[in-house]
Amino acid sequence: MGVRWDRIFENEKRQFEKMTAQEKFAYFLLLQYGSPYGWGKENPESSDCSGAVCMALYAATGLLIRTTADDLYNRVFTVTNPGTALIRAAFFIADKGTAVHVAGLVNDGIILNSQEPGAQIRQLEDIARWFTRQGCTLVVRGLDPAALRRLAGEGKTVSGLDGEWGRYFE
């Protein structure tokens, strides 16, 4: 007897459609668990840190952007007191104020960290310790939905979408 993957994924799709945007964001981050790191990529098979967050934002909101960790920090995740109700991301800020890494929050203190060798579910404090030793500061921010809509309307794709995007998204 084998697993009926088609039936499982039909049920999964129905469950996904009932989720809130915050739940969809966390769920899609979790779907990326174990995928290999791919610089400049943003698809379920391989992504970099900002690609993983941009892909989860698209799954959660239907708004497509593809940009860098620093641009996400400065233009999309600008809510400085995010609480627990918003889509949130953790940013690691270098001494010159540039966000050099981003990880989407799955839950309080839990992130999807897409970094060599691949995407892992980690405790934020563990990753923060490593980045602190590299001279970075941790900042957690919430999504500004209006900013995301504005950038998506502008067609914000700094690095362009990788070629595999079309296999997974419309």
Q: Which helix H or strand E contains 105, and what residues bound it?
A: strand 99-107
Q: Which two tokens stand for residue 41?
A: 């990529």
- Measure Cα distances from 152 to 63, 72, 147, 149 in Å: 6, 12, 8, 5
Please name every residue paired with 157 in a beta bridge, in sequence order, or none if there are none.
66
- H/E element, 128: helix 124-133
The pair of structure tokens assigned to 85 is 């109700």
Looking at the DSSP bridge assignments, the partners of residue 107 are 110
Which class does domain 8-158 fall in?
alpha beta
Inter-residue contact 104 to 48 (CB < 8 Å): no
Prediction pTM value: 0.92
Residue extents of the structural domains in the chain: 8-158
Q: What is the H or E stretch that residue 55 is in? A: helix 49-61
| Chain segment 109-120, per-residue pLDDT in tens | 999 999 999 999
Mind listing the pLDDT tens digit for each residue in 16-75?
Answer: 899 999 999 999 999 999 999 989 888 888 999 999 999 999 999 999 999 999 999 999
* Residue 41 near residue 55 (C-beta atoms within 8 A): no
